Structure formats: structure tokens, C-alpha cells
């Protein structure tokens, strides 16, 4: 076997860089993609996505998938034509490594493993999600501040700190936008940067910070997603914990610690951290929340919930694969009682799921329709997905009123990425519109954007936009209608 040096041009022959996880590193503009089927005439706008893709082979000889440099991409859909673009986010990390011609940064969120040239530089990769707020587009990752992106060219414009008003050094990849007021509700954990402990919580309207408060969580954990209702915010503190000594030894920043309990910290959305209330339960893990809402004095949080996190435990063991399968679950915090525990009810148990989506016009409100990527283990696994990573083979549409779940299987050799919902019209009924999702087709490894009519997901896509490239799996995307985009220019 040939040993890789830090200046090697070759990516390692390890699971994080093979099959579905192999690097793409493509920046491109393709005008006029081929379309099979018929694009709906009322589907006009842009589907933005953000995901990891390593610019260079890893400094340490191997890495994990999620540590790739941020790439933003866009499908622009108008008048039956689809154009596609992708660009790396020009983070401080990306620019320093581009100048050096090699990786300078080491393990995921572990500065103790960096090359000396990386000292003091912002380590964020901006590789997780996209945000549209006050007429501006941003790429987000939870360990840094937002990077503003040009919505047409995808060029990186600046890092964003509300014109100097934001104190937090971090900003979640999962802020929520109130559909009625347009208020942006956000947080940042380890808000002081580095290995600090406070959580920042704030809101913004029209790009202006309304308030920002800091508080101490029960313990430092990875708070990837959270929940926002009309009157409350919920911080899920679940036991994926940090150990600085482990990091100094070159180990991972985060590890699963099942000896700790989960704590849901609930507080008023209006921003009074003194009125926080903690609801506790067993060690659990969730990456993503579908939606949250209030029913009387109950706060319901619908999330993809597992018995363990899919990462090494503090003792170095790895939780069994079935323990880290996430199922759609409703967690309830009963604010009207003295109950100190949260309760749980599984909403759909047929398949493990992740990447939940809703009609964003119902965010923070009672809602009926949810969408998820799902994994049917009874179907054949494409060999390219055997290395793990983000692979799903089904899409599902959950009707919370009837309990019915409609599904679509993408076929052998197919893996599907996060679905994103686009309303049919601004005032169409909740859930009535289109579901957009990128599918990778193996063994050719080419991508396509599938467009479904949500009135009949199981009938299959009404249009398939063909991309003559391998589209490395992304994390999150968003739909920006042409009407909303045009309104921001007015
Ligand atoms: Fe996420």
C-alpha cells in the first residue's frame, strides 16, 4: 500500500471518500439541462442546496464525510428551462488551503490537529444549509457565522454579523423563519467560540437584530437542530458531548455519552432566559426537527429520534447500527403541569428517516403535512452506498391528520437526498405543491432532480431534470420562489 503524504494529490481509499461519498469538487454553470417529462408551468424559482466536498485530500490521511468544504449549488427553474450552478464557499479555510495548494486544517472541529499555517484562522466550512432572509442568501454551518452568497452567481460576498451587532461567534444551520411575520429566530451554541459553553439565542427582523441573550446549557453538547413555536423555543441538549483532553490527543470533538440524560430546555421565544424550564428523559439522539407547535399548554416537537447517535461513544465503542436509526417521533413538553419529564409518541415506525421537510408556511404552527427521506432496508442496497454516509432510497409524505403515509421508492441503484417543498401557488392549501429531490443513479453515478406533485407522490416524478455530473450528497436546501426573489428586488 502506498502511504499518503500531506501533499498527496490522491484521496484515501477509505469509506469517507468512496462510492456515494467520493469527492466531486466541481464548480460549474450548465445552461439548459435536459428534462424528461413536463416541468410544471407554475414552478418558478431556485432550489438552493449546501453540502460538504473536500477541496484537497485530508491533512491527516483520512477524515469524516461531514468535514468537507462547503459547496452551494442552485437549480434555477423558469419557463420550462433549468440551469444549474455550483461553487465552493470562499471561507477563510478554503482560501488559505487554495493558496497553499493543500489541506491545512485537520480533524472535524479539532484545531489541535491543524497545520501551523492554520493557526488563528476561522475553521468553519459553511457546508450545511442555506438561509434566505431580508432579501439575502446565506450559507450556514453551526460552528461559525453565516456567509452571504450572491443568489445569481453563487459568489461568496462576506461573512455576516448583523453589521457588527451579533455577539455570538456561532450561528445554527437551522434557524427558523416565522411565516407570518418573517421574523428570523436563531441560536448559536458554544457562542463564545472554541470550546466555550454558552448558548446564544436571538431574533431578527428585516436583517436587524432584535435581541440576543446568552445562557448556560445543562452541559455542552452538539445542538444541531432545535424547535420554535409561536411562543416558545426548545433547545434539545442530547448527550453528544465534548472532551477537550480527547481533542488535544487528536481524538474527535464529539462522542456519544449514554450515561447522561437528554434535557429539553424550553423558554419563551420573546427572549427571557430566566424563564427557562428543563424537561428530562433518557439518552436519545436527533439530528433534525420536522416542526413544532403548541396545543393548549403543551409544546409538541416532531423530530427524527434515535436511541443513540451514529458516532463513537466516549468509551470508544460504536453504538449498534439499529440503535442509531431515527424514527419520526412526537415529543411533548407539558408546560401546564409540574411534570419534569418529556413524553414521546412514535408517529411513523415503518422506516428510519431523516431530512424532514414541511410546507414552510406552517413553520412554528399546527400543521398537517410532512415529508422525509426514508430508508427501506428490505430493498437492495446500491454497492456505492455500502460505505455509509447519506443514503436513502424512499421519499415519504406523512399526513398527520389521517396518519397515512404515501411513499415513493427511487428504484435499484438510486439514492435520494433531502426533499424540499415548493407551494403550488402562494395561497394554495398546506402541502399542495411540489416536492423536489436530487437522486444519484448508480452505477452511472449521474444525478437528476426529480419533481413530484404532492397530490400523488407515489405516482412518481412529473419531471426529471438530468445533470451530467455526480452530485455529491448535500445536507440541506431551500426553495426560493421567483415571486419572493422578485419581491426582494422591489
Ligand atoms: Fe442539519
Mean pLDDT, consecutive 10-residue stretches, the chain (490 aa), reads: 61 95 97 97 97 98 96 95 98 98 98 98 98 98 98 98 98 97 97 98 97 97 98 98 98 97 97 92 98 98 98 94 96 97 98 98 98 93 85 97 97 95 97 98 93 98 97 97 91
354: CA distance to ligand 1 center in Å? 9
247, 108 Cβ separation under 8 angstroms: no
225: CA distance to ligand 1 center in Å? 6
**Whole-angstrom distance, CA of residue 358 vs CA of residue 289:** 10
135: CA distance to ligand 1 center in Å? 22
The number of beta carbons lying within 10 Å of the beta carbon of residue 41 is 8
pLDDT of res. 229: 98
Q: Which residues contact 304 (CB under 8 A, 6 or more apart)?
A: 286, 287, 288, 290, 326, 327, 328, 329, 353, 354, 356, 372
The number of beta carbons lying within 10 Å of the beta carbon of residue 106 is 21
pLDDT of res. 264: 98
Strands, DSSP E only, in 79-189?
81-88, 129-133, 136-140, 147-149, 156-159, 176-177, 184-189
298, 284 Cβ separation under 8 angstroms: no
Query: Taking the mean position of all CA atoms in its chain, how far away is CA 210?
Result: 25
For 181, counting Cβ atoms within 10 Å of its Cβ (0-12 exposed, 13-18 middle, 19+ buried), the class is: exposed
418: CA distance to ligand 1 center in Å? 10
286: CA distance to ligand 1 center in Å? 10
Q: Which residues contact 155 (CB under 8 A, 6 or more apart)?
A: 87, 90, 149
286, 306 Cβ separation under 8 angstroms: yes
Helix, strand, or coil here: 458? helix
143: CA distance to ligand 1 center in Å? 13
Residue whose C-alpha is closest to residue 361's, from 177, 174, 234: 177
34: CA distance to ligand 1 center in Å? 30
172: CA distance to ligand 1 center in Å? 9
pLDDT of res. 1: 42
484: CA distance to ligand 1 center in Å? 24
**Whole-angstrom distance, CA of residue 103 vs CA of residue 17:** 15
Structural element, H or E, at residue 241: strand 240-242
7: CA distance to ligand 1 center in Å? 31
443 prior amide bond cis, ω within 30: yes
**Whole-angstrom distance, CA of residue 365 vs CA of residue 293:** 5
289: CA distance to ligand 1 center in Å? 9
54: CA distance to ligand 1 center in Å? 18
440: CA distance to ligand 1 center in Å? 20
| Measured distance between the N- and C-terminal CA atoms of the chain, rounded to whole angstroms | 60
**Whole-angstrom distance, CA of residue 226 vs CA of residue 292:** 9
Task: Report strand pairing: 184-189 vs 199-205.
Answer: antiparallel
**Whole-angstrom distance, CA of residue 199 vs CA of residue 215:** 5
262, 283 Cβ separation under 8 angstroms: yes
477: CA distance to ligand 1 center in Å? 10
pLDDT of res. 490: 74
434: CA distance to ligand 1 center in Å? 21
208: CA distance to ligand 1 center in Å? 25
Q: What is the DSSP string of 89-114?
A: ---HHHHHHHHHTS----STT-GGGS
Query: Taking the mean position of all CA atoms in its chain, how far away is CA 219?
Result: 23
265, 281 Cβ separation under 8 angstroms: no
241: CA distance to ligand 1 center in Å? 17
**Whole-angstrom distance, CA of residue 393 vs CA of residue 416:** 6
**Whole-angstrom distance, CA of residue 276 vs CA of residue 252:** 31
389: CA distance to ligand 1 center in Å? 14
385: CA distance to ligand 1 center in Å? 20
Q: Which residues contact 317 (CB under 8 A, 6 or more apart)?
A: none
Residue whose C-alpha is closest to residue 16's, from 62, 57, 69: 62
Residue whose C-alpha is closest to residue 273's, from 191, 206, 161, 196: 191
471, 84 Cβ separation under 8 angstroms: no
288: CA distance to ligand 1 center in Å? 6
**Whole-angstrom distance, CA of residue 258 vs CA of residue 102:** 38
Helix, strand, or coil here: 340? coil
Amino acid at each position: 500500500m502506498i502511504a499518503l503524504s500531506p501533499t498527496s494529490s490522491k484521496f484515501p481509499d477509505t469509506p469517507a471518500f468512496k462510492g456515494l461519498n467520493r469527492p466531486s469538487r466541481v464548480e460549474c454553470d450548465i445552461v439548459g439541462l435536459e428534462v424528461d417529462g413536463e416541468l410544471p408551468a407554475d414552478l418558478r424559482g431556485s432550489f438552493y442546496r449546501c453540502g460538504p466536498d473536500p477541496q484537497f485530500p485530508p491533512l491527516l490521511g483520512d477524515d469524516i464525510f461531514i468535514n468537507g468544504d462547503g459547496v452551494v449549488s442552485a437549480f434555477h427553474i423558469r419557463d420550462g428551462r433549468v440551469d444549474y450552478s455550483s461553487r465552493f464557499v470562499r471561507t477563510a479555510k478554503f482560501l488559505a488551503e487554495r493558496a497553499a495548494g493543500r489541506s491545512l486544517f485537520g480533524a472535524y472541529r479539532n484545531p489541535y490537529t491543524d497545520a501551523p499555517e492554520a493557526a488563528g484562522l476561522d475553521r468553519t466550512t459553511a457546508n450545511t444549509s442555506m438561509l434566505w432572509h431580508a432579501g439575502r442568501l446565506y450559507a450556514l454551518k453551526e460552528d461559525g457565522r453565516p456567509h452571504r452568497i450572491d443568489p445569481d452567481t453563487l459568489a461568496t460576498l462576506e461573512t455576516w454579523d448583523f453589521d457588527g451587532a451579533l455577539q455570538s461567534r456561532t450561528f445554527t444551520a437551522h434557524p427558523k423563519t416565522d411565516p407570518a411575520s418573517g421574523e428570523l429566530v436563531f441560536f448559536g451554541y458554544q457562542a463564545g467560540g472554541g470550546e466555550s459553553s454558552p448558548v446564544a439565542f436571538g431574533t431578527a427582523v428585516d436583517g436587524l437584530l432584535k435581541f440576543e441573550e446568552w445562557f448556560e446549557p445543562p452541559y455542552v453538547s452538539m445542538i444541531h437542530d432545535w424547535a420554535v413555536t409561536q411562543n416558545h423555543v426548545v433547545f434539545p441538549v442530547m448527550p453528544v458531548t465534548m472532551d477537550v483532553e480527547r481533542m488535544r490527543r487528536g481524538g474527535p470533538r464529539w462522542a456519544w455519552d449514554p450515561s447522561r440524560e437528554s434535557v429539553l430546555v424550553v423558554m419563551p421565544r420573546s427572549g427571557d432566559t430566566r424563564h427557562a424550564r428543563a424537561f428530562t428523559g433518557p439518552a436519545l439522539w436527533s439530528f433534525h426537527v420536522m416542526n413544532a407547535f403548541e396545543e393548549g399548554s403543551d409544546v409538541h416537537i416532531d423530530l427524527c429520534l434515535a436511541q443513540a447517535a451514529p458516532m463513537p461513544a466516549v468509551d470508544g465503542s460504536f453504538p449498534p447500527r439499529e440503535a442509531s436509526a431515527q424514527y419520526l417521533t412526537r415529543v411533548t413538553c407539558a408546560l401546564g403541569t409540574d411534570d419534569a419529564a418529556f413524553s414521546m409518541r412514535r408517529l411513523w415506525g415503518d422506516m428510519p428517516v431523516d431530512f424532514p421537510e414541511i410546507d414552510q408556511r406552517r413553520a412554528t404552527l399546527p400543521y398537517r403535512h410532512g415529508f422525509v427521506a426514508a430508508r427501506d432496508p428490505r430493498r437492495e442496497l446500491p454497492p456505492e452506498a455500502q460505505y455509509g454516509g447519506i443514503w436513502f432510497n424512499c421519499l415519504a409524505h406523512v399526513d398527520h391528520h389521517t396518519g397515512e403515509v404515501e411513499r415513493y421508492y427511487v428504484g435499484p441503484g438510486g439514492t435520494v437526498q433531502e426533499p424540499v417543498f415548493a407551494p403550488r401557488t402562494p395561497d394554495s392549501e398546506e402541502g399542495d405543491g411540489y416536492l423536489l429531490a436530487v437522486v444519484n443513479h448508480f452505477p452511472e453515478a449521474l444525478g437528476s432532480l426529480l419533481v413530484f406533485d404532492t397530490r400523488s407522490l407515489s405516482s412518481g416524478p412529473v419531471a426529471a431534470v438530468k445533470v451530467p455530473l455526480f452530485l455529491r450528497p448535500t445536507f440541506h436546501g431551500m426553495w426560493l420562489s421567483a415571486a419572493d426573489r422578485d419581491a426582494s428586488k422591489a
